[in-house]
């Protein structure tokens, strides 16, 4: 089963050297998960100051600067993993370095049939 591990923390939870170490440790975790056949993708996100939110109401698109949620912790990055069950996903989430400073939310992914394969989409985009 695929799980999305969403990393939440305040943007100033880490100083620059802690952030750089977190990236190094996270990269190693990604390699470890890849070796185990559990890695799909992962990425930190840019600052919430770069966020744009889109809502459509009554067929009108509303675009606003900033994240949708007005919370103390912000979505800072994610891991997409393949794990046999929730317990395995919890074990992986506990290995994410940012869990020491923030929160990792684990969400099972709904797999919808007939979606394009990401590698097929990249090929299609490159062929344009």
pTM strictly above 0.95: no
DSSP annotation of 31: H
Note the Cα 111 to chain centre separation in Å: 17
Return the CATH superfamily for domain 2-112: Dimeric alpha+beta barrel (3.30.70.1060)
Phi and psi for 32 in degrees, rounded to 5? Answer: -60, -45
DSSP state letters, 87-120: HHHHHHHTT-GGGGTSEEEEEEPP--TTPPPHHH
The domains of the chain are located at: 2-112
Q: What is the pLDDT of residues 12-55, one digit of tens each?
A: 899 999 999 999 999 999 999 999 999 999 999 998 888 888 88
């Amino acid at each position: 089963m695929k799980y999305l591990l969403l990393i939440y923390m305040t943007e100033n939870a880490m100083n620059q050297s802690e952030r750089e170490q977190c990236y190094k440790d996270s990269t190693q975790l990604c390699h470890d998960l890849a070796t185990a056949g559990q890695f799909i993708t992962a990425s930190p996100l840019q600052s919430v100051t770069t966020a744009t939110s889109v809502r459509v109401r009554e067929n009108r698109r509303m675009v606003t600067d900033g994240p949708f949620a007005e919370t103390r912790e912000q979505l800072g990055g994610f891991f997409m993993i393949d794990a046999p069950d929730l317990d395995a996903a919890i074990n992986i989430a506990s290995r994410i370095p940012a869990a020491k400073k923030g929160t990792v939310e684990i969400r099972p992914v709904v797999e919808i049939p007939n979606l394009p394969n990401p590698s097929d989409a990249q090929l299609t985009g490159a062929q344009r």
